[in-house]
């Protein structure tokens, strides 16, 4: 959900534009440490990378970017440090999901995996590794913020008072919103393809067991979890709740680091797992992930079936709601008449209303050309949860044109505005307090700034 007050103001650093940014940083910047926060250094090249990325994304700064950017990085480091103290962790599944989503977004924008690699002058594996580090930090900061402000609540009376006190020219404008229903079908994967994947994994197990090759070497060469493959398949220490349940059950049952697990099926594909170390209620494993391949034939057949279903709905043989409940394979919507749900990342509040930029990109492209009540033709899209390609049809259930907010129609949006103000005030106070107890050193040439959070430059 788009925020009127940007709660995630401390995570405005977006992912680097790998090729252009890295080249710029290496060729044009004599690198130096410009800030130190705790025991973490901020380099001039870090700032340049973020600045170039902002230019690429069309971001405009309210102030000098050489002041705004290092301060944003410094604030992020404060949250990451606190998250480490509070043992805040991000699951491997969350990281993979975020990396898959970003990689797929780049491929869609640029045209193909090969074009993406050419554009960034990096292999897909290198791109995913950079995305992985950024995803872990971004998700960790988000969880830390949620812990700090997660208990904030506002009453209906407070929302009404806020709206009543607003000057007429300050009443928020609510952009156009849509409600969308969706039905998805996953292409059928031939049993022979699944058996081929399992046979390959059994072959890997045999080779490791016979001492012909290390598990980590096979992971680097063949695992389709490219983010962990570059580390020999190592996932890092994780609790049970941070893993796919099927993966967790096997991972925590392993006793011998020399043994390889049975084949495990998860929502991401098929794995074999090797224990590295256990520490209390956490375990560190390495794995090899393989996914059965979906052919163009199966994809075409799934989309053809959905087109046939859409024709039957248009012919009033059954409703979209009924088809979603019986046919759709979208776990999040099939028991809710196929209605897509927009979850606020900060408060956890859900709504059926989306601004166009909040819809999955593949869905937004289709919905943008539709009229209310219309059902689309079948199209392919990437499931943001597991990165798999699926076929879908959508129905534009409702469209609410942009308008000035009213308490009757837009109470939930107004409530979020009030809650965002409270969150921002609380985080602002937390940052100012954290500054007092954190070692900060700023290069003299970088101190002449009107910082958002006064207190970085300590007075002697």
Range(s) for CATH 3.10.50.40 in the chain? 176-188+294-401, 191-290
Reading the block at residue 174, the tokens are 């609510």
Report CA torsion sign: 24, 28, 33, 34. Answer: negative
Do residues 417 and 37 make contact, with C-beta atoms less than 8 angstroms apart?
no
Locate tokens 């308490």: which residue?
A: 407
Look at residue 430 and tell me whether its pLDDT is greater than 60.
yes
Look at residue 3 and tell me whether its pLDDT is greater than 70.
no
Name the DSSP class of 14.
Answer: P
Look at residue 56 and tell me whether its pLDDT is greater than 90.
no
What does the mean pLDDT of the chain come to? 86
Locate tokens 């609790």: which residue?
A: 239
How far is the C-alpha of 376 from the C-alpha of 314, rounded, in Å? 11
Q: Contacts from 28-37 at CB under 8 Å and sequence distance 24+?
A: 32/443, 33/443, 34/70, 34/442, 34/443, 34/446, 35/70, 35/73, 35/74, 35/440, 35/441, 35/442, 35/443, 35/446, 36/439, 36/440, 36/441, 36/442, 37/74, 37/77, 37/78, 37/438, 37/439, 37/440
Strand, helix or coil for residue 351: strand
Topology of domain 191-290 in CATH is Chitinase A; domain 3 (3.10.50)
Which strand ranges, in their side-by-side order, compose the sheet holding 379-382?
A: 354-355, 177-185, 389-400, 379-382
The reported pTM is 0.63
Q: Which CATH class is domain 176-188+294-401?
A: alpha beta
Q: Facing residues of 266 across strands?
A: 269
Strand, helix or coil for residue 273: strand
Which stretches of 233-389 are DSSP H helices?
Answer: 245-253, 296-314, 320-327, 361-367
How far is the C-alpha of 397 from the C-alpha of 321, rounded, in Å? 11
Lowest mean pLDDT among 14-23, 260-269, 408-417: 14-23
Look at residue 14 and tell me whether its pLDDT is greater than 70.
no
Residue range 116-130, pLDDT digits in tens: 888 888 888 888 888
How far is the C-alpha of 406 from the C-alpha of 418, rounded, in Å? 14
Of 26-35, 209-218, 242-251, which has the strongest mean pLDDT?
A: 209-218
Q: Characterise 316 by phi-psi region: left (phi > 0), alpha (psi -120 to 50), beta (else).
A: left
The CATH number for 9-153+411-446, chosen from 3.40.50.10860, 1.10.4030.10, 1.10.300.10, 3.40.50.300, is 1.10.4030.10
Do residues 269 and 387 make contact, with C-beta atoms less than 8 angstroms apart?
no
Lowest mean pLDDT among 130-139, 166-175, 269-278, 301-310: 130-139
Q: What's the rounded mean pLDDT across residues 368-396?
A: 90
Specify the pLDDT at position 25: 40
* The dihedral formed by the CA atoms of 359, 362, 368 and 370, expressed in degrees to the nearest 10: -110
% of the chain beyond a pLDDT of 70: 91
Strand, helix or coil for residue 83: helix
Range(s) for CATH 1.10.4030.10 in the chain? 9-153+411-446
How far is the C-alpha of 349 from the C-alpha of 146, rounded, in Å? 13
Name every residue whose Cβ is closer than 8 Å to that of residue 347 and which is 6 or more positions away in sequence. 416, 419
Residue with the larger pLDDT of the pair 205 and 243: 205
Reading the block at residue 89, the tokens are 């962790």
Helix 156-165 to helix 411-436 angle, to the nearest 10 degrees? 90
Residue range 449-460, pLDDT digits in tens: 999 998 898 775
How many CB atoms sit inside 10 A of residue 148's CB? 17
Q: What's the rounded mean pLDDT across residues 102-107?
A: 80
Residue range 333-354, pLDDT digits in tens: 988 999 999 876 655 567 899 9
Q: What's the rounded mean pLDDT across residues 406-418?
A: 90
Residue with the larger pLDDT of the pair 223 and 347: 223
% of the chain beyond a pLDDT of 90: 54
Q: What's the rounded mean pLDDT across residues 149-173?
A: 92
Specify the pLDDT at position 9: 33
Name the DSSP class of 421.
Answer: H
Specify the pLDDT at position 18: 45
Reading the block at residue 205, the tokens are 């197990």
Specify the pLDDT at position 347: 56
Cα within 13 Å of Cα(132), Cβ side: 19
State the pLDDT confidence band at 296, using cuts at 50, 70 and 90: confident
**What is the gyration radius of the CA atoms in the chain, in angstroms?**
25
State the pLDDT confidence band at 75, using cuts at 50, 70 and 90: very high
Locate tokens 């107890």: which residue?
A: 437
How many CB atoms sit inside 10 A of residue 421's CB? 16
Q: Facing residues of 396 across strands?
A: 180
């Amino acid at each position: 959900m788009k925020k009127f007050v940007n709660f995630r103001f401390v995570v405005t650093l977006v992912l680097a534009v790998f090729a252009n940014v890295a080249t710029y940083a290496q060729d044009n910047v004599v690198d130096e440490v410009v800030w130190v926060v705790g025991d973490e250094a901020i380099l001039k090249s870090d700032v340049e990378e973020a600045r170039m990325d902002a230019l690429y994304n069309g971001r405009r700064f309210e102030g000098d970017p050489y002041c705004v950017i290092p301060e944003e990085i410094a604030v992020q480091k404060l949250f990451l440090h606190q998250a480490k103290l509070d043992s805040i962790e991000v699951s491997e599944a969350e990281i993979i999901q975020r990396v898959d989503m970003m990689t797929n977004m780049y491929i869609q924008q640029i045209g193909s995996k090969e074009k993406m690699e050419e554009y960034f002058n990096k292999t897909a594996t290198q791109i995913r590794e950079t995305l992985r580090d950024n995803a872990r930090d971004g998700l960790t900061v988000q969880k830390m913020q949620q812990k700090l402000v997660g208990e904030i609540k506002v009453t209906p009376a407070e929302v009404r008072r806020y709206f009543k006190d607003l000057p007429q020219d300050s009443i928020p404008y609510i952009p156009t919103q849509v409600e969308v229903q969706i039905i998805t079908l996953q292409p059928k994967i031939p049993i022979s393809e699944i058996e081929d994947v399992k046979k390959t994994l059994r072959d890997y197990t045999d080779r490791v067991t016979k001492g012909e090759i290390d598990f980590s070497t096979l992971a680097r060469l063949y695992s389709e979890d490219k983010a962990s493959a570059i580390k020999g398949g190592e996932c890092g220490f994780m609790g049970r709740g941070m893993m796919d349940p099927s993966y967790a059950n096997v991972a925590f049952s392993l006793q011998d680091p020399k043994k390889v697990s049975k084949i495990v099926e998860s929502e991401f594909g098929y794995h074999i797992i090797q224990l590295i170390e256990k520490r209390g209620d956490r375990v560190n494993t390495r794995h090899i992930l393989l996914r059965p391949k979906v052919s163009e034939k199966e994809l075409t057949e799934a989309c053809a079936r959905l087109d046939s279903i859409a024709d039957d709905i248009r012919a009033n043989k059954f409703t979209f709601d009924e088809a979603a409940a019986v046919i759709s394979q979208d776990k999040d919507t099939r028991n809710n008449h196929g209605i897509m749900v927009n979850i606020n990342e900060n408060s956890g509040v859900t709504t059926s209303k989306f601004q166009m930029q909040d819809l999955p990109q593949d869905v937004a492209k289709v919905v943008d050309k539709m009229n209310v009540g219309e059902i689309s033709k079948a199209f392919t899209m990437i499931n943001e949860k597991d990165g798999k390609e699926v076929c879908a049809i959508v129905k534009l259930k409702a469209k609410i044109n942009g308008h000035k907010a009213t308490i009757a129609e837009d109470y939930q949006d107004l409530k979020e505005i009030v809650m965002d103000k409270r969150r921002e005030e609380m985080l602002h106070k937390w940052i100012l307090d954290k500054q007092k107890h954190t070692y900060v050193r700023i290069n003299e040439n970088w101190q002449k700034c009107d910082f958002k959070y006064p207190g970085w430059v300590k007075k002697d």
